[in-house]
Amino acid sequence: MAAERPERAVVSAWRPRVPGVVEVFHARYTEYAYPMHVHDAWTLLIVDDGAVRYDLDRHEHGTPHDTVSLLPPHVPHNGAPATADGFRKRVLYLDTSRLGDDLIGAAVDRPDLRDPVLRRRVGQVHSALVRPGDELEAESRLTLVGERLREHLRSRDAAGPPRRDPVLARRLRELLDARVVDGLTLEEAGALLSAHPAHLVRAFSGAYGIAPHQYLMSRRVGRARRLLLEGRAPGAVAVDTGFYDQAHLTRHFRRLVGVTPGRYRAVGR
């Protein structure tokens, strides 16, 4: 882990050998604020010091110390310190083998869970993950966390109607997901989906609260994070994730993660 004095940020990130965990991310920020962005994985967040304020689906939320926040994939959110002293957080990014897409609507409705037992169990998972050789313990504890999360989400999902996803917006998202590296123009997307490009932008932004190009850049940065954690050089990562060059990657990576790709790679395990 390396301290970054000019940016007042300290981050640590790695991919553990635990099924269903895409990435572990620990960070201490004082001034950095996340812009609107998306992830292709579930974001399971606990805050150890300070608090975070964030917007999800156009509603403001917060993360006091005793809260577990679960942010669903594909839904844009931002984040900023709620106090002058900043915040320290620990995050697990989980794939759909842990939580399915059918729970996204329930997580959007109430992403902040006040559950002391759940909060303690998530902390125990992180404690196991930082100890090499304790992957089985981490996996076992994470299984209990997933079970409790599903209990929360299914009870809330049953209380109200399912969250609707406009068909055209969903089809464009699927197309973007399939073309993360190659990319595509709105004209190409319009031809493939039989829709006017302007209508595509309105439909996508209305459904997800983020423009298609912002979504695509978020997906590319997500891929870049994983390649960097494998030890790949930023220049090669830029090429392999669809960025024009390393400077292009650095600009978007720093905007979404808060540090440069080189520094992110240096603190990875």
**What is the C-alpha to C-alpha distance for residues 234 and 143, in angstroms, rounded to an integer?**
34
The CA distance from 67 to 14, in Å, is 24
Most confident of 97-111, 133-147, 232-246: 232-246
How much is the pLDDT for 247?
A: 94
Residues 16-45: tens digit of each pLDDT: 999 999 999 999 988 888 899 999 999 999
Residue 1: predicted pLDDT? 42
Residue 234's pLDDT band, with cuts at 50, 70 and 90, is very high
Instruction: Work out the pLDDT band at 58, boundaries 50, 70, 90.
Output: low
pTM recorded for the entire structure: 0.76
Q: 145-177 pLDDT, tens per residue?
A: 998 999 999 874 444 444 445 799 999 999 999
CB 22 within 8 A of CB 8: no
What is the edge-to-edge ordering of all strands in the sheet holding 59-62? Answer: 34-37, 77-81, 52-56, 59-62
**pLDDT tens, position by position, 236-264:** 999 999 999 999 999 999 999 999 999 99
Helical ranges in 179-267 per DSSP H: 186-193, 197-208, 212-229, 234-240, 246-257, 261-267
